[in-house]
């Protein structure tokens, strides 16, 4: 008879939290995809052995405290300005692996100019774009990425095309720019999606070595609090509603 105690032994351990996540409890709501996104980025940095060469730039948004959770050198930027800050860091330290981690309000609203121009300048950085279609941190307001018909605190009857326009597909937009070498859209809500995203994260960091410009990874994620759903329901809703507008897969490179 094999007991649980026989199985739970150091030599049988196949998964545990990466050392590159600090002991601080994430400030995220239960079920929020930000935590999984943090974890796989840090796992890749650990597996590639580049912790001393990696510098991250945190945004304004729910992930404003990313520097408290990711145990690599980090800088926090003003809202939307992470690609500009990452530009400076990467130019001063050209051999470092510099990345930004930004929400959709940060990257595709107030930071649109910084995003597009960093991409156009072929900065040697990785951009992680966590698209949950909403301003999570400030109470679930409509973002440029909010879906048509989607209810938010500032579109309580659903986003209406006539008054509020179309959701912006900024990932497809940056793929048009010559300064961007790799663009992909992934998710982190299922084990299979997590494994794919991890491969994409690794490819993006490896691209830093060839100095051919930005690698851009969108992660379509849930904001169960802002969407006012349970975490499990929000992931189902995301598959049914977000993925048709933001289809997963490689877009460039």
Partner 1 sequence: MAKIRGAVVVDVERCKGCVICVNACPTNVLNMSKEVNGKGYSYSFMENPEACTGCMSCSMVCPDVVITVYRMKVG
Enumerate binding residues for ligand SF4 (CB under 6 A): 28-29, 32, 34, 62, 132, 136-137, 223-226
Which CB sits closer to partner 1, 43 or 114?
Answer: 43
Give min distance, CB of 7 to ligand TPP, in A.
37
Exactly one of 30, 94, 139, 247 binds partner 1 (CB under 8 A); that residue is 30
Q: Which does 224 bind (CB under 5 to 8 A by kind): ligand SF4, ligand TPP, Mg ion, none?
A: ligand SF4
Tell me the angle at which helices 82-92 and 112-120 cross, rounded to the nearest 10 degrees: 30
> Residues in contact with ligand TPP, total (CB under 6 A)?
19
Segment 208-247, which members bind ligand TPP (CB under 6 A)?
223
Contacting residues for 143 by C-beta, under 8 A, at least 6 apart: 104, 105, 108, 109, 133, 134, 135, 152
Alpha-carbon span 163 to 186, nearest angstrom: 30
Q: Does 104 bind Mg ion (CB under 5 A)?
A: yes
Q: Does 114 bind ligand TPP (CB under 6 A)?
A: no
Residue keyed to tokens 């929400």: 103
Which CB sits closer to ligand TPP, 53 or 138?
Answer: 138
Contact 51, 72 (CB under 8 A): yes
Segment 186-245, which members bind partner 1 (CB under 8 A)?
188-191, 194-195, 230-232, 235
Q: Does 34 bind partner 1 (CB under 8 A)?
A: yes
DSSP string across 146-215: PPBT--BTTBTT-B-HHHH-PPP-HHHHHHTSTTEEEEEEEE-SSHHHHHHHHHHHHHHHHHHHHT-SEE
Q: Does 184 bind partner 1 (CB under 8 A)?
A: no
Residue keyed to tokens 């977000």: 242
Contact 137, 61 (CB under 8 A): yes
Q: Which does 104 bind (CB under 5 to 8 A by kind): ligand SF4, Mg ion, partner 1, none?
A: Mg ion
Q: Could you list the residues that contact ligand TPP (CB under 6 A)?
A: 60-63, 79, 103-106, 110, 130, 132, 134-138, 143, 223
């Amino acid at each position: 008879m094999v007991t649980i105690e026989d199985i739970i032994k150091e030599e049988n351990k196949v998964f545990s939290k990466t050392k590159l996540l600090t002991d601080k409890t994430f400030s995220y709501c239960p079920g929020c995809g930000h935590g999984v996104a943090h974890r796989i980025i840090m796992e890749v940095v650990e597996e590639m052995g580049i912790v001393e060469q990696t510098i991250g730039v945190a945004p304004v948004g729910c992930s404003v405290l990313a520097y408290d959770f990711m145990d690599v050198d980090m800088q926090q930027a003003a809202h939307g300005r992470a690609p500009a800050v990452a530009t400076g860091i990467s130019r001063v330290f050209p051999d470092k692996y510099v990345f930004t981690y930004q929400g959709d309000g940060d990257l595709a609203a107030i930071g649109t100019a910084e995003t597009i121009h960093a991409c156009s300048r072929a900065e040697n950085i990785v951009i992680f774009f966590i698209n949950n279609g909403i301003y999570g941190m400030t109470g679930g307001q409509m973002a440029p990425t909010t879906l048509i018909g989607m209810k938010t605190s500032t579109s309580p009857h659903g986003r209406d095309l006539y008054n509020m326009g179309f959701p912006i597909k900024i990932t497809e937009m940056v793929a048009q720019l010559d300064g961007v070498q790799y663009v992909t859209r992934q998710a982190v809500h299922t084990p299979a999606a997590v494994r794919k995203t991890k491969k994409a994260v690794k490819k993006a960091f490896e691209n830093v070595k060839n100095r051919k410009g930005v690698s851009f990874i969108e992660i379509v994620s849930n904001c169960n609090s802002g969407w006012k759903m349970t975490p499990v329901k929000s992931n189902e809703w995301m598959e049914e509603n977000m993925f048709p507008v933001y289809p997963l897969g490689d877009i460039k490179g």
